[in-house]
Amino acid sequence: MGSQWSRDKVYLRAKQEGFRSRASYKLIEIQNKFAIIRENDNIIDLGAAPGSWLQVLRTLTSGKVLGIDLNPIAALEGIDTIEGDLTDLTIQKQAQEMLGTVSVVVCDAAPKLSGHKSYDQVRAIALGEEALIFASHVLKPGGNFVIKSFQGVDFPELLDRIKEHFFVVKTYSTKATRKGSTEIYIIGKNFKG
Indicate which residues carry an active-site annotation: 148
CA atoms in the 13 A half-sphere facing the CB of 52: 18
Contact status, residue 188 vs residue 169, Cβ threshold 8 Å: yes
Give the length of the chain: 193
* Distance of alpha carbon 139 from alpha carbon 166, whole angstroms: 11
| Beta strands 166-172 and 183-191, pairing class | antiparallel
CA triple 7-53-101, angle to 5 deg:
170
User: Residue 50's closest CA among 28, 70, 78, 29?
Assistant: 70
> Is the distance from CB of 143 to CB of 105 less than 8 angstroms?
yes
